[in-house]
Structure 1
Amino acid sequence: MTYETDVTVVSIGRLHDDDPGPWADVLTKATIALDLRHFRDPHVRSDLREMTAHDQAVRDTVMNTPGVRDVIAATALQVQGYLAGPSTAPLTVVTQCAGGRHRAATTAMALRAVIAGDIEQAAAYGLADAAAQFTDRDLVVDLVHRDLDKDVVDR
């Protein structure tokens, strides 16, 4: 059976969980949920706080956090395992952090590139080798940022 979308990667900020919207309950529907709240938070740096994953400085900070690339590569392998085993497409992978503007959004962008087998895009995140495993899969991978464009959470 072929699906229009094989995998949807959704980034969220847990501090926005009470906000209404089409992705409000995405965690209850997730095949895989990746919690990044324990990794270094760019929000604590005043020079990055107002920025988002659209900014290179944020992406660099997140991707240079020890362990982040390993977690993304391992999550991509989980996706591969689910598609081969207990689940079939479509899958939903949720990346989550506190506000949804830095860690979750950056890792979602990187994960989408890897799973889609987009070596050039994945290389920008230091994950070209992980993406190489997916180049022949021809997966359709959607990316949704539930909270990326919301205001900075005052915390």
Structure 2
Amino acid sequence: MNTENNKRAAQAPADVTVVSIGRLHDDAGGAWADVLERATIALDLRAHFRDPHVRADLRHLTAHDQAVRDAVMTTPGVREVLAATALQIQGYLAGPTAAPITVVTQCAGGRHRAATTALALHAVVSGDIESATAYGLADAAEAFTGRALTVDLVHRDLDKDVVTR
């Protein structure tokens, strides 16, 4: 068992883990290679929401950059999908069996849409009203305030090279 897996085994799993991935990196292996098989909720953003990668000025940027976050979050429908996902998470948390929830956001390269929406969902589920407001999701975050959930955020592919396509 490698060191990363030892650390994981030593600590209790998060109540909710939000993972962003780029589907063009699915063959890369690693601790999160099978995350779609473990997902409670999987959001595939590839076909329905415009890809910032097609814009030359955004291609080499990531969700760390405000211009990318703005481009993703102003895409019609994105906020509605994230608010609905927050409702799904609430439903799973209300269920009679306490089990960790894994939410996977996915796009092509993992640097723009998936990473931005994962950041937004993390803010919402953490009940971080201030951060959620920056994503236009303050109302969704209010339902999570005071819940004391452990919420992890993992970006599997955010720091990988831009995929040539």
State if a TM-score over 0.5 links the two structures. yes
User: Unmatched 5+ residue regions in structure 2?
Assistant: 1-11
Count of matched residue pairs = 153
Paired residues of 1:7 and 1:89 also in contact (CA < 8 A): no
1:136 deviation in Å? Answer: 2.1
1:151 deviates by 0.3
Q: Which residue identity lines up with residue 18 of structure 1 in the other structure?
A: D
Moved over 6 A (4+): none
Is 2:145 the partner of 1:120? no
Q: In structure 1, which of residues 138, 142, 149 is the aligned counterpart of residue 159 of structure 2?
A: 149
Distance in 1 between the 2:89 and 2:41 partners?
A: 8
SS of residue paired to 2:152: strand
- TM-score scaled to structure 2, two decimals? 0.90
**Superposition CA RMSD, Å:** 1.1
Give the distance between the partners of 2:64 and 2:157, measured in 1 at CA: 13
Other structure's SS at 1:71 match? helix
Share of identical aligned residues, percent? Answer: 79
- Matched-pair contact (CA < 8 Å) for 1:119–1:131: yes
TM-score, normalised on structure 1? 0.96
How many Å separate the matches in 2 of 1:26 and 1:41?
A: 22
For 1:87 and 1:137, the matched residues in 2 are separated by: 17
Task: Write out per-residue CA displacement over residues 97-139 of structure 1, whole angstroms, 9 at most, x where no aligned residue.
Answer: 0000000000000000001100001011011111011102111
Distance change (3 Å), C-alpha of 1:68 and 1:87: farther
2:26 aligned residue: 17
Structure number with bigger Rg: 2
Gaps of 5+ in 1: none
